[in-house]
Amino acid sequence: MAASSTDNKFALVAEGGLQILIDLALSEDEGVRGYAIEAIAELLTIKSIQIEYLEIGGVNTLMFALRSSDPHVVKESLLAVCQLCRDNETVMAAVLGRKRNWMTCVTVV
């Protein structure tokens, strides 16, 4: 039987993939950065992965990526932030507090 999408996400994180994606999300190559953040956003659909992501400081990566001039990178970063904030007001307050020009970022997408 094939592993479910959720099983694949947990396996990727268990093998250290989350930190690798964070490192790739800081790449100077905008294409690499965009796809890494896209993968992070997909992983963040799972609550336990969100917690791990927050614990290792992943939000800093997203805040950095929001400053990109590449619309794909900004869009994927916003999607990842939305995944983190969707059901967690504490995280939302922390993220919004870090990004004073939040509406500027939102209007790019």
- Alpha-carbon Rg for the chain, nearest whole angstrom, is 13
**What DSSP string describes 30-80?**
HHHHHHHHHHHHHHTTSHHHHHHHHHTTHHHHHHHHTT-S-HHHHHHHHHH
List pLDDT tens digits, range 68-99.
999 999 999 999 988 888 877 777 776 676 65
In degrees and rounded to multiples of 5, residue 75 shows phi and psi of -60, -50
Check residue 89 and give its pLDDT.
77
Check residue 8 and give its pLDDT.
93
List pLDDT tens digits, range 18-67.
999 999 999 999 999 999 999 999 999 998 999 899 888 888 899 899 89
